Amino acid sequence: VAGAGDGEVGAGVRLDRSLFGGVALSDAEKNLQQAALAALERLAQFSPWLVGPILSGAATSHTDIEMEIVDVEPKIFEMQLLGLALPFTLAPAGCTPPDQATRYVINFGQHTIRCTVFRTEAARRTAMSGNDRSTVRARLPEARARLMSQETTAS
C-alpha cells in the first residue's frame, strides 16, 4: 500500500484474512514462517524472541524476520554469529541509545533477520514504551504454536 506504514499494512493483511475466513497462506509466507522458526532454533543459545508481523499474522512475502534478544553483550553476540557463519552488519540505532541496544541485519539464507540486542529487559521496556508491538513476542515453543495456529486458521 503506497504511503502506508508497516502497522497499517499489517492491520490490512489481518483484516483481509479475517474477513475472508482465513485466506490460505502463500507458499512464500509459509516459507518465511519456517525460516523464522529455523532462525530461532539456530540462535537458541541467546533465547531470542520472535516479534513483528510474522508472529502477529500480518507478514507478506516481503517481510523480514524480526527478533529481540535481551541480556546479551553485543560483542559476545557478534562472536557467536561469526562462529555460526551468519554474516551480519550493524543497523542504524534508530531511537534507541546505543548504550541500551544494538541492532543487526543478519543474512539467513534467502531471508533477512532484523535483530535488536538489548543490554537489559529494562532497556527494552524503555525503548519500547509507547510502542504497541512491544508486547507481542514469543520464544520458540510459543512461536511454533502460534504460527501453526495461523496456518490452521488460514486453511
Question: pLDDT tens digits, residue range 3-39?
Answer: 444 555 445 444 454 444 455 678 889 999 999 999 9
Residue-level pLDDT at 21: 44
Residue-level pLDDT at 88: 98
> Which residue from 51, 13, 6, 37 is spatially nearest to 108, judged by alpha carbons?
37
Residue-level pLDDT at 65: 97
Residue-level pLDDT at 49: 96
Mean pLDDT per 10-residue run, the chain (155 residues)? 47 47 73 96 97 91 94 95 97 78 95 94 81 76 92 64
C-alpha cell at 137: 513476542
**Beta carbons within 8 Å of 77's beta carbon, 6+ residues apart:** 46, 69, 102, 104, 117
Residue-level pLDDT at 8: 56
pTM: 0.79
Residue 69: how many CB atoms within 10 A of its CB?
A: 20
Cα torsion through 55, 60, 117, 100, rounded to 10: -100
**Beta carbons within 8 Å of 146's beta carbon, 6+ residues apart:** 55, 138
Q: What does the alpha-carbon distance between residue 70 and residue 47 come to, in Å, rounded to a whole number? A: 8
The end-to-end CA distance of the chain, in Å, is 25
Residue-level pLDDT at 128: 77
Q: What does the alpha-carbon distance between residue 63 and residue 114 come to, in Å, rounded to a whole number? A: 10
